[in-house]
Amino acid sequence: MDETVAEFFKRTILKIPMAEMMTILKAWDFLSENQLQTVNFRQRKESLVQDLVLLCEKKRASLNDAAILDIVYTQFHRHQKVWDVFRMSREPGEDIDLFDMEQFKRSFKKILQRALKNVTISFRDAEENAVWIRIAWGSQYRKPNQYRPVYVVYYSQTPYAFTSSSQLRSNIPLLGQALTIASKHHQIMKMDLRSRYLDSLKAIVFKQYNQTFETHNSTTPLHERSLGLDINMDSRIIHENRIEKERVQRVTQETFGYYPQPRLEFAQYKLETKFKSDLNGGILAEREEPLRCLIKFSSPHLLEALKALAPAGIADAPLSPLLTCIPNKGMNYFKIRDK
């Protein structure tokens, strides 16, 4: 086995936490059960990794097999990457999309390899007719850098693709082109939506986050008092502003619904508006140029935090539509200019 490939194997297997080693190796499905049983998984990690690399060498594992292991690891640790969302479009009135996964893969590979001689492209099929693509970029003179790959997740016959953010920005247009052509679209644009939580991004763009519907068959009550205003609590507690509390709760439920919110970590607002002040003659009020400022809301779970603001008394209800439109519009990056 090539030295660089062996090194790549070693570093990829070293990344895997001991607790997940068996699961990930089984999901990789390259080493058989019997072969895995010959290895002692209780030894120190370094020795275990050496044994596994030897096994891979014996089985003549290729660079592609290592790349697939890398994909499996990333699938288990998708939160370690930050994901961007791209939306593709095609001219209306096109023929029916007869998506052939093999044809897509061939086409995608051909387009990239035609433009860049040195590039490693690997595919792994995933559930719901999706494919994970791993791309290691090289250049005309340099071999692909296996330690800074880009991942793309594409669900067939949808206009959306999810890519892991990469510092190597120069190759993004080429990647976009390959995706667009291979999936038989015409245009691609980057959405103002970014998060670590790939599944939440998918829920937002596929509009799968608000899925409780009223039917005659549903037995679950729609109006659950989930925000804790329990009026039947201790009778010694008196709610002085019960009416207002109930209004706030109602408005919150109307805006945020009864479903668990998709998970985002931040919302960023870039303001380029003129400063508006009630007071005449403030320093900022006389300026002609727009005030540039960046406001960022961060949270382990931004939308749940926003939902809790009004009931906690920290903000007025209803919240600003700039905050509540995030899942609907599929944006968490905003540029606000004067109209």
Partner 1 sequence: MELADTLRPDGDPKGGVLAHLERLETRMHRSRKKLEEPQTVQAEESALVTEIQKLRRLRDKLRAEVKRRQAGFGLLHILQVKASTANVEPDQTWEITEQEVLERKWENLKAVLQAYRFTGLSGKLTSRGVCVCISTAFEGNLLDSYFMDLIVQKPLRIHRHSVPVFIPLEELSAKYLETNIQHFLFTLCEYLNAYSGRKYQADRLQSDFAAFLAGPLQRNSLCNLLSFTYKVEPRGQSFPLCARLLYKDLTRTLPTDVTVTYQGMDALSTSWEEQRASQENLFRTKPLHHVFTSFARKGEMLDMSLVS
Q: Which is nearer to partner 1, 47 or 212 (CB)?
A: 212
The residue type of 187 is Q
Q: Is 154 in the site for partner 1 (CB under 8 A)?
A: no
Residues contacting 118, CB < 8 A, separation 6+: 137, 138, 139, 140, 142, 143, 144
Q: Is 243 in the site for partner 1 (CB under 8 A)?
A: no
Pairing status of strand 266-273 against strand 333-337: parallel
Q: Is 279 in the site for partner 1 (CB under 8 A)?
A: no
From the list 30-38, 215-223, 241-249, 303-311, the region that binds partner 1 by CB under 8 A is: 215-223
**What share of residues in the chain are helix, strand, coil (percent, to 5)?**
40, 20, 40
Q: Is 160 in the site for partner 1 (CB under 8 A)?
A: yes
Q: Is 102 in the site for partner 1 (CB under 8 A)?
A: yes
What is the nearest approach in angstroms of partner 1 to the Cβ of residue 231?
Answer: 20
Contact status, residue 297 vs residue 267, Cβ threshold 8 Å: yes
Q: Of residues 3, 29, 214, 289, which one binds partner 1 by CB under 8 A?
A: 214
Q: Of residues 89, 208, 241, 277, which one binds partner 1 by CB under 8 A?
A: 208
Distance of alpha carbon 12 from alpha carbon 122, whole angstroms? 15
Q: Which is nearer to partner 1, 212 or 226 (CB)?
A: 212
What is the nearest approach in angstroms of partner 1 to the Cβ of residue 84?
Answer: 18
Q: Is 255 in the site for partner 1 (CB under 8 A)?
A: no
Residue identified by tokens 């370690």 is 80
End-to-end Cα spacing for the chain: 62
Q: Is 4 in the site for partner 1 (CB under 8 A)?
A: no
Q: Is 27 in the site for partner 1 (CB under 8 A)?
A: no
Q: Is 128 in the site for partner 1 (CB under 8 A)?
A: yes
Q: Is 34 in the site for partner 1 (CB under 8 A)?
A: no
Q: Is 94 in the site for partner 1 (CB under 8 A)?
A: no
Q: Of residues 156, 255, 268, 324, which one binds partner 1 by CB under 8 A?
A: 156
Q: Is 215 in the site for partner 1 (CB under 8 A)?
A: yes
Tokens representing residue 44 in the block: 């120190």
From the list 3-11, 78-86, 89-97, 132-140, the region that binds partner 1 by CB under 8 A is: 89-97
Q: Of residues 157, 187, 226, 320, which one binds partner 1 by CB under 8 A?
A: 157
C-alpha distance from residue 188 to each of 87, 174, 266 (Å): 6, 11, 24
Q: Is 80 in the site for partner 1 (CB under 8 A)?
A: no
Peptide bond into 173 cis (omega under 30): no
Q: Where are the alpha helices (DSSP H) in 211-285?
A: 242-256
Distance of alpha carbon 246 from alpha carbon 229, whole angstroms? 8
Q: Of residues 32, 129, 187, 298, which one binds partner 1 by CB under 8 A?
A: 129
Q: Where are the alpha helices (DSSP H) in the chain?
A: 3-15, 21-28, 33-37, 45-58, 63-76, 101-115, 172-182, 198-205, 242-256, 302-309, 321-324, 326-329
Count CB atoms within 10 A of the CB of residue 148: 11
Torsion over CA of 13, 18, 23 and 24, rounded to 10 degrees? Answer: -20
Q: Which is nearer to partner 1, 139 or 156 (CB)?
A: 156
Q: Of residues 101, 251, 317, 336, which one binds partner 1 by CB under 8 A?
A: 101
What is the nearest approach in angstroms of partner 1 to the Cβ of residue 123?
Answer: 13
Q: Of residues 47, 80, 99, 170, which one binds partner 1 by CB under 8 A?
A: 99
What is the nearest approach in angstroms of partner 1 to the Cβ of residue 328?
Answer: 9
Q: Is 213 in the site for partner 1 (CB under 8 A)?
A: yes
Residue identified by tokens 């408005």 is 251
Pairing status of strand 130-137 against strand 83-89: unpaired
- Give residues in contact with partner 1 (CB under 8 A): 92, 96-102, 128-129, 155-158, 160, 205-208, 210-211, 213-217
